[in-house]
Structure 1
Amino acid sequence: MGGRVNRRAFVGSCSLAAFPGLSPGKATIDVGGLDRSRVLGDAGKFLGKKPVTPAAARSPRSAGGPNDFFSEGDYWWPDPKNPGGPYIRRDGMTNPDNFVEHRNYLMRLSVEVPALAAAWKLTRERRYAAHAAAHLRAWFVTAASRMNPNLQFAQAIHGRSTGRGTGIIDTIHLVEVARAIPVIAESGALSKDELAQIKQWFSMYVEWMTESKNGIEERDARNNHATCWVMQVAAFAEFTGNGKLMNECADRFRSAIVPAQIDPDGSQPLEASRTKPYGYCLFNLEALATLCRIVSANGHDLWGFQTGDGRGVRNAIEYMFPFIADKKKWKHPPDVMYFDEWPMRQEALLFGGLAYGRQDYLDVWRKLPAGSNVDEVVRNYFIRQPVLWI
């Protein structure tokens, strides 16, 4: 058993170290104290679960091989007028008969590995890091089980496409895994060669994201898909030490993401126009704030960026804050599905609260639920271990 982390030192690092320029005493929160019981409870359960990767299941509708990730477009259904023909779209309505095994495996990885890493960080008990390392070997190192470093066959549509650029959003669940890997490596649970192989996997994946037809298609999307593309590239660039890509992410945030997605009043019109406007606005805001958190810690102040007409993440968080604090104030129609499941403990309030010195954001954040058993929520709530971030 390792030594217990000094709580006062941990709280201090949570408040300031990850947010250069933040004035001491402006806004603070004891994330370690708040989350310790939750993290250790979850991590203890995960110690008994073996790794599962895409090699464990295959869909007859997949055009890929045994190590290829496969998923299907959420809102695509059989056509009642042509049951055996191409699927048709029903926006906001998830098809329950889709192949979801690979996505579920990836979500499980994203839930368990960061929780185990957070438990090691809080306790220094090696068993947590060792079990997390077993998952990482299975997914990114071992030839028989590792996932191929692309999403060529993600978000397929029966009768229409074997895989689309929109599928890249499935790997938002690798963002916090990438965050956890250096923490796990610090424990010594990964050898230098294993860590190098994992970094090589992420380097190959981010190369595919930035150079493939599907990757470029997703980069050029206009809504939350574009945000999530940049957020992922930034996260994987940080992990692999790719400064050139980090600079490109900062530039894209300023030139494409903010101007297209945030109105001067802070609203997100592309998300608000969907059939699940509340959930989508929260989801995109999480991605925007996580992107700011990553890139701002690597030499670019995205928190302070604002266009000439006032668009920026600061006012995007300000716009959504009243509706997170009190959903009854929401101005748009309720989501067609899962409206009652939101909000969660939205990390935009945590990251934004520390970046902007807003104690009111932190006070609301700490009162919101930190976990859910609803698949839709798990899929769209992808930053779950703030201990790894601040």
Structure 2
Amino acid sequence: MKHFGLVHSQVNREQWNAYFDLTAIIQQADNCLTAPPVQITDERAPQSPGNAHDYYSNGDYWWPNPDTSNGLPYVRRDGESNPDNFHAHRILLRRMRSRVACLATAYRITGEQRYASHAIRQLDAFFVNERTRMNPHLLYAQAVPGICDGRGIGVIDTLHLIDVAAAVQILQHSHTSLADSHVLQSVSAWFADYSQWMNEHPQGVEERNEPNNHGLCWYVQMAAFARLTGQYAMLDWCREQYKTKLLVEQMDTDGSFPRELSRTKPYAYSLFTLDNFVTLTHLLSTPDDNLWEFQLSDGRGIEKGISFLLPYIENKQSWPYGRDVEYDAEWPVAMSFLLLAGLAYHSERLIALWHKLDHNPKEDELRRNMAIRQPLLWI
């Protein structure tokens, strides 16, 4: 039996207080106990060609056409998010993720079954109950009015579900009833179905082949979902793609990500890409194949990527690649890669930044670019 455990990022229970505000996590979970379940059917997308169970969103950077009477077709303004686009399903998905992840983390901290039971009720509403569940596909994600009903790059919208997959693995160890066990099995089956859609549908394949952060996030999701569903051959394949495709296509020899530096938000996109590269390194590393130590023949590897960006996280003013068109002053914040890589490399510099930076930014734009919200589920 292969061991697909985590490498160099394990922390003893006695040390959790050194990295996390356990009291705040439990208080947040207590608030979740009285909140009603979140479900995709809570909001109907008026422009969606699907039904109430189909996820729908609009592309961020698309705006009404100023040259037409009806605003169609929309036109792209890279880096400028349109607040009037349909984001309700994104918000619902992330709200569900945050509650499930927080409740599962509180269960892990305390061992109290009430947190696990409430998380499972939330999972049932979003993934299992036939009246309220989300269908396991993203046919209508990041649609552009007047151009298309959905796009391959919409697959990035479910990046936040990696926290849910990690939570389910924790909840599987709870002392659940037969009904709760059935819910958890059904949620795992949902993720298996969604993984199959991601890997086989043309939109999923298109996203997988993107040579930038979108393609990377496809692999992050696939690896997280494959760990949950026991798809070990897929994990092996993702590990090989990490070495032969992702690093080769996306990282320059200095550790930078050129495709992200060329965008209108070079700083935020560089952070986002590094965060997800670290998450993927964490997900795919095994005792026999430690990707934290892997390097291409020219030295490219995750350590090189961290070394490139770290000085600019410590001193944002030294960043030489231009300002982001939005939210430039709000970055950086405490993203999970600082903790995961800090533990993997026993790096006091990274851990110090993890403690120093803001863990709960108020701006929605920043929060949606933080895939992992409860790192205690991951170590």
TM-score range, shorter chain: over 0.9
- Give the TM-score of the pair, scaled to structure 2: 0.94
Q: Alignment length, in residue pairs?
A: 371
Q: Is the 8 A contact 2:342 2:349 kept in 1?
A: yes
Which range moved further: 29-38 or 100-109?
29-38
**Is the counterpart of residue 122 in structure 1 residue 109 in structure 2?**
yes
Partner SS, residue 186 of structure 1: coil
Match of 1:294 in 2: 283
Give the C-alpha shift of residue 359 in structure 1: 1.9
Q: Residue 64 of structure 2: which of 67, 75, 78 is its match?
A: 78
User: What is the letter of the counterpart of residue 54 of structure 1?
Assistant: I
Give the C-alpha shift of residue 195 in structure 1: 1.8
In 1, the alpha carbon distance for the partners of 2:153 and 2:235 equals 22
Partner SS, residue 380 of structure 1: coil
Q: Residue 157 of structure 1: which of 137, 144, 160 is its match?
A: 144
Give the C-alpha shift of residue 301 in structure 1: 1.9
**Is the counterpart of residue 169 in structure 1 residue 166 in structure 2?**
no
Match of 1:19 in 2: 7
Q: Is the 8 A contact 2:7 2:290 kept in 1?
A: no
In 2, the alpha carbon distance for the partners of 1:279 and 1:23 equals 28
Deviations 1:62-118 (A, max 9, x none): 111110000010000111001422100000000111011100001111211111111
In 2, the alpha carbon distance for the partners of 1:241 and 1:331 equals 44
User: What is the letter of the counterpart of residue 96 of structure 1?
Assistant: P
Partner SS, residue 142 of structure 2: strand
In 1, the alpha carbon distance for the partners of 2:53 and 2:372 equals 26
User: What is the letter of the counterpart of residue 86 of structure 1?
Assistant: P
In 2, the alpha carbon distance for the partners of 1:141 and 1:19 equals 33
Deviations 1:249-278 (A, max 9, x none): 111111111111111111111111111111
Match of 1:249 in 2: 238
Match of 1:31 in 2: 16
Deviations 1:145-169 (A, max 9, x none): 1100000110000011111000000
1:349-368 correspondence runs (5 A) = 349-368=338-357
**Is the counterpart of residue 210 in structure 1 residue 195 in structure 2?**
no
Partner SS, residue 141 of structure 2: strand
Q: Residue 133 of structure 1: which of 111, 120, 127 is its match?
A: 120
Q: Is the 8 A contact 2:7 2:287 kept in 1?
A: no
User: What is the letter of the counterpart of residue 95 of structure 1?
Assistant: N
Q: Is the 8 A contact 1:29 1:362 kept in 2?
A: no
Partner SS, residue 368 of structure 2: helix
C-alpha spacing 1:153/1:357, structure 2 compared with 1 (3 Å): same
Match of 2:301 in 1: 312
C-alpha spacing 1:32/1:221, structure 2 compared with 1 (3 Å): same
In 2, the alpha carbon distance for the partners of 1:173 and 1:298 equals 27
Q: Is the 8 A contact 1:317 1:348 kept in 2?
A: no
In 2, the alpha carbon distance for the partners of 1:252 and 1:210 equals 14
Give the C-alpha shift of residue 24 in structure 1: 11
Match of 2:89 in 1: 102
Partner SS, residue 57 of structure 2: strand
Structure 1 unaligned spans of 5+: 1-16
User: What is the letter of the counterpart of residue 42 of structure 1?
Assistant: Q
User: What is the letter of the counterpart of residue 160 of structure 2?
Assistant: H
Q: Is the 8 A contact 2:123 2:183 kept in 1?
A: no
Q: Is the 8 A contact 2:272 2:370 kept in 1?
A: yes
User: What is the letter of the counterpart of residue 167 of structure 1?
Assistant: G
Match of 1:47 in 2: 33
Give the C-alpha shift of residue 341 in structure 1: 1.9
Give the C-alpha shift of residue 222 in structure 1: 0.9
Match of 2:253 in 1: 264
Partner SS, residue 150 of structure 1: coil
Q: Is the 8 A contact 1:19 1:354 kept in 2?
A: no
User: What is the letter of the counterpart of residue 91 of structure 2?
Assistant: N
Structure 2 unaligned spans of 5+: none
Q: Is the 8 A contact 2:61 2:78 kept in 1?
A: yes
Give aligned-pair identity as a percent. 41
Match of 1:183 in 2: 170
Could you say what the CA RMSD is over the residues aligned between the two structures, in angstroms? Answer: 2.0
C-alpha spacing 1:136/1:79, structure 2 compared with 1 (3 Å): same
User: What is the letter of the counterpart of residue 15 of structure 2?
Assistant: D
C-alpha spacing 1:75/1:250, structure 2 compared with 1 (3 Å): same
Deviations 1:115-172 (A, max 9, x none): 1111111111222111111110011111011100000110000011111000000000
Partner SS, residue 71 of structure 1: strand
Deviations 1:43-63 (A, max 9, x none): 122222111222121122111
In 2, the alpha carbon distance for the partners of 1:229 and 1:24 equals 28
In 2, the alpha carbon distance for the partners of 1:343 and 1:382 equals 15
In 1, the alpha carbon distance for the partners of 2:369 and 2:61 equals 15
Partner SS, residue 149 of structure 1: coil
Q: Is the 8 A contact 1:32 1:387 kept in 2?
A: no
Find runs of 4+ consecutive structure 1 residues off by over 4 angstroms: 22-25
User: What is the letter of the counterpart of residue 78 of structure 1?
Assistant: P
- Give the TM-score of the pair, scaled to structure 1: 0.91
